[in-house]
């Protein structure tokens, strides 16, 4: 516990000294990949990340991560939000969120600015847990499980002939099964015929594995219906981002035509954005990303809105260990709707694409073994970057 007792000169009684935010630093990280990979909308040859470090006046540190275009998000943190939070009590994370929200309400209700707020909120959550000596899941209401089942995200596209690509995807998937994963998510949205071949080949090769498919909003409504029926035939657990986030009204029309659950939400932000998305109907699983949706503080409100509509929440997780740890704590506190004697447990997304900034940059990491992750019990998020390793990836640092 870093909060200490001091004497108040006025009344000679013991009062708790409140911590105060003294520094906010950002780290823009980059790594050039040995081999590029792609999905329906883009092809990556570089991994980027933006980490946030908040330090109080006693040297206690909290870490956060932002999801989105790192250079632009770094500017938003450094020039807009960080100056607002210097001198702020890090225990008052909810009030800090509202303070930043009001300061930029006229021009930043969503998008990059909210991504910046998300990383700051995550860092305050981490710092608050360390100051109080409790894990992030305790701050979120208390963990319900000590371990989570994971699903491996991978099977991205490569720039090779389709027959070779399908063989490569199946080989990659076998590797995840050998590692103990009992659930996997593939990428679809390359083209309709290849997508169908891949879906059926995955089910044939892995009859006892839980499978999901993510199109990254690749399809129009007729195409989504066509692919959705193949996913239904092959008993996939969900169809992720089948349609553009620009047209939430189409999800209900899709849901009327297929019987595979529809999952979406990684592109959405704030309780208000999710209220609009879910109010349109058709969504069965909502997927906020804690490094983008508004941070852990806002994710709890999003989950409450989803719960009020009977919809379950499974966090999207992309990036480095900080965002993965945030999603782990969040899912460990989930209440499954509507509940029963033996409820199903939410699955944690574990990205398996190459990323040394996730796998080689942390001195304290999540323990992932046999397709399960142990929920950290250490104060805060329970993961810590290694500063020397971080410096090797950092291309730009700021401090306020």
Catalytic residues: 316
Burial (CB count <10 Å: 0-12, 13-18, 19+), residue 216: middle
CA–CA separation, 263 and 151 (whole Å): 15
Residue with tokens 């998020």: 381
319: left (phi over 0), alpha (psi -120 to 50) or beta: left
């Amino acid at each position: 516990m870093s909060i200490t007792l001091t004497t108040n000169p006025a009344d000679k009684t013991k009062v708790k000294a409140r911590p105060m935010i003294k520094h906010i630093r950002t780290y823009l990280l980059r790594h050039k990949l040995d081999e590029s990979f792609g999905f329906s909308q883009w092809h990556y040859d570089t991994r980027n990340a933006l980490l946030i470090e908040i330090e109080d006046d006693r040297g206690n540190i909290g870490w956060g991560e932002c999801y989105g275009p790192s250079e632009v998000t770094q500017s938003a943190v450094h020039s807009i939000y960080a100056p607002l939070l210097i001198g702020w009590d890090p225990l008052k994370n909810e009030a800090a969120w509202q303070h930043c929200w009001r300061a930029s309400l006229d021009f930043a209700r969503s998008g990059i600015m909210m991504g910046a707020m998300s990383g700051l909120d995550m860092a305050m959550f981490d710092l608050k847990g360390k100051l109080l000596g409790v894990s992030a899941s305790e701050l979120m209401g208390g963990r319900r499980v000590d371990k989570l089942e994971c699903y491996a995200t991978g099977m991205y596209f490569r720039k090779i002939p389709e027959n070779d690509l399908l063989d490569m995807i199946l080989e990659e998937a076998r590797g995840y099964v050998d590692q103990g994963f009992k659930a996997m998510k593939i990428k679809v949205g390359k083209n309709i015929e290849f997508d169908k071949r891949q879906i059926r080949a995955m089910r044939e090769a892995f009859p006892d594995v839980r499978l999901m498919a993510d199109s990254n909003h690749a399809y129009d409504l007729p195409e989504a219906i066509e692919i959705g029926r193949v996913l239904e035939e092959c008993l996939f657990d969900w169809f992720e981002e089948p349609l553009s986030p620009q047209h939430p009204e189409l999800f209900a029309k899709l849901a009327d035509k297929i019987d595979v659950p529809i999952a979406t939400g990684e592109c959405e932000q704030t309780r208000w954005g999710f209220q609009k998305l879910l109010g349109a109907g058709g969504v069965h699983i909502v997927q906020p990303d804690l490094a983008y949706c508004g941070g852990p503080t806002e994710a709890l409100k999003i989950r409450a809105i989803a719960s009020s509509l009977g919809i379950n929440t499974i966090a999207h997780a992309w990036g480095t260990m900080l965002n993965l740890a945030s999603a782990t704590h969040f899912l460990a506190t989930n209440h499954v709707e509507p509940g029963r004697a033996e409820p199903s447990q939410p699955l944690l997304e574990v990205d398996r694409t190459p990323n040394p900034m996730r796998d080689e940059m942390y001195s304290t990491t999540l323990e992932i073994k046999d397709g399960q992750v142990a929920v950290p019990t250490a104060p805060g998020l329970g993961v810590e970057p290694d500063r020397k390793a971080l410096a090797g990836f950092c291309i730009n640092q700021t401090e306020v």
